[in-house]
Amino acid sequence: MKDESPGLPDDADFHAYVDGRLDADRRAAVEARLAVDAEAARRVRDWIEQREALRGLHAELLDEAIPEHLLHAGERLHHRSSRLARWQRWGGMAAAVVLSFALGWSANMQWQATVAGVASSPSASAFARQAVVAHAVFSPEVRHPVEVDAKQQDHLVQWLSKRLNRPLKLPNLAATGYELVGGRLLSGGGGPRAQFMYQNANGERVTLYVGAIDGAAGKGMSETAFRFTSDAGVQSFYWVDQGYGYALSGKLPRQGLLVLAEAVYKQL
Q: How many CA atoms lie within 13 A of 207 on its CB side?
A: 27
The pair phi, psi for residue 119, each rounded to 5°, is -65, -30
Q: Is the pLDDT of residue 241 over 60?
A: yes
Q: How many CA atoms lie within 13 A of 21 on its CB side?
A: 7
The span from the CA of 32 to the CA of 58, in Å, is 33
Q: How many CA atoms lie within 13 A of 109 on its CB side?
A: 8
| pLDDT number for residue 11 | 79
Q: pLDDT category, 21, cuts 50, 70, 90?
A: confident
Q: Across all residues in the chain, what is the average pLDDT?
A: 76
Rounded percentage of the chain residues whose pLDDT exceeds 70: 65
Higher pLDDT, 225 or 77: 225
In angstroms, the Cα distances linking 90 to 37, 71, 94 are: 47, 19, 7
| pLDDT number for residue 97 | 47
| pLDDT number for residue 103 | 41
| pLDDT number for residue 53 | 66
Residues 22-63: tens digit of each pLDDT: 888 888 888 888 888 888 888 888 777 776 666 665 555 555
Amino acid 100 reads S
Residue 148's beta-bridge partner residues?
A: 183
| pLDDT number for residue 157 | 96
Sheet of 205-212, strands arranged across: 148-149, 179-188, 191-199, 205-212, 244-250, 234-241, 227-231
Q: Is the pLDDT of residue 170 over 50?
A: yes
Task: Give this prediction's pTM.
Answer: 0.57
Q: Is the pLDDT of residue 111 over 50?
A: no
| pLDDT number for residue 16 | 83
With residue 194 as reference, give the H or E element that holds it. strand 191-199
Q: Is the pLDDT of residue 259 over 50?
A: yes
Q: pLDDT category, 207, cuts 50, 70, 90?
A: very high
Q: pLDDT category, 1, cuts 50, 70, 90?
A: very low
Q: Is the pLDDT of residue 172 over 70?
A: yes
Choice among 40-54, 85-99, 185-199 with the minimum mean pLDDT: 85-99
